[in-house]
């Protein structure tokens, strides 16, 4: 479990870091726990496996996505919501969903790199984005095959 406000460490989670069945849960105190969703329907899997997981017969690689946020309102309107948007990004980084993000240059939108089980999960998470809720941005989702991923995203 990573410290409060820290992104998950690939070595600390092992295979769970990139597994499509990983679900992150954050307690009211800010601690994040990682649950195996396969355990809900298959008794062979442990709901909260001891980490790091080095081998698992149920492992399936999660999908990688790039989210391109396109601002739909003037920058002043976007910046009025920016603090809440950054809190949202940090929350999902702690839960192991968002791995990188930045405002585009020039500031016409933003970019988010996400690792989630499927597109529907990502769409549900993006619907909570303060930018989307305030109507100051729209999200374009780009899915890609993670076969050529290197570095920290490849556990």
CATH of the domain at 89: 3.30.70.1060
Q: Return the pLDDT at 27.
A: 87
Is residue 100 one of the residues assigned to a domain?
Answer: yes
Q: What is the mean pLDDT of residues 65-71?
A: 97
* 48 within domain boundaries: no
| Residue-averaged pLDDT of the chain | 88
Query: What's the domain count of the chain?
Result: 1
Tell me the average pLDDT across 6-35: 82
This prediction's pTM: 0.74
- What is the spatial distance between Cα 116 and Cα 131, in angstroms, rounded to a whole number? 20
Residue 72 lies in a domain: yes
109 within a domain of the structure (yes/no): yes
CA 125 to chain centre: 8
Residues 6+ apart with CB under 8 A from 143: 63, 64, 65, 119
pLDDT for 5 beyond 90: no
Residue 81 lies in a domain: yes
CA dist 34 and 56 (Å) reads 15
In-domain check, residue 20:
no
Mean pLDDT of 147-153: 64
Range of the structural domain that residue 123 is part of: 63-147
């Amino acid at each position: 479990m990573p410290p409060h406000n820290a992104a998950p460490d690939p070595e600390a989670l092992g295979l769970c870091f990139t597994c499509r069945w990983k679900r992150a849960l954050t307690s009211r105190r800010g601690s994040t726990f990682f649950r195996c969703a396969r355990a809900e329907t298959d008794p062979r899997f442990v709901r909260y496996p001891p980490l790091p997981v080095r081998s698992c017969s149920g492992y399936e690689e999660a999908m990688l996505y790039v989210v391109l946020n396109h601002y739909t309102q003037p920058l002043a309107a976007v910046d009025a919501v920016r603090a809440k948007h950054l809190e949202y990004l940090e929350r999902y980084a702690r839960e192991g969903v968002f791995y990188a993000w930045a405002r585009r240059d020039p500031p016409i939108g933003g970019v988010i790199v996400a690792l989630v089980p499927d597109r529907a999960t990502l769409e549900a998470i993006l619907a909570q984005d303060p930018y989307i809720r305030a109507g100051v941005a729209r999200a374009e989702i780009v899915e890609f095959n993670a076969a050529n991923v290197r570095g920290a995203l490849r556990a």
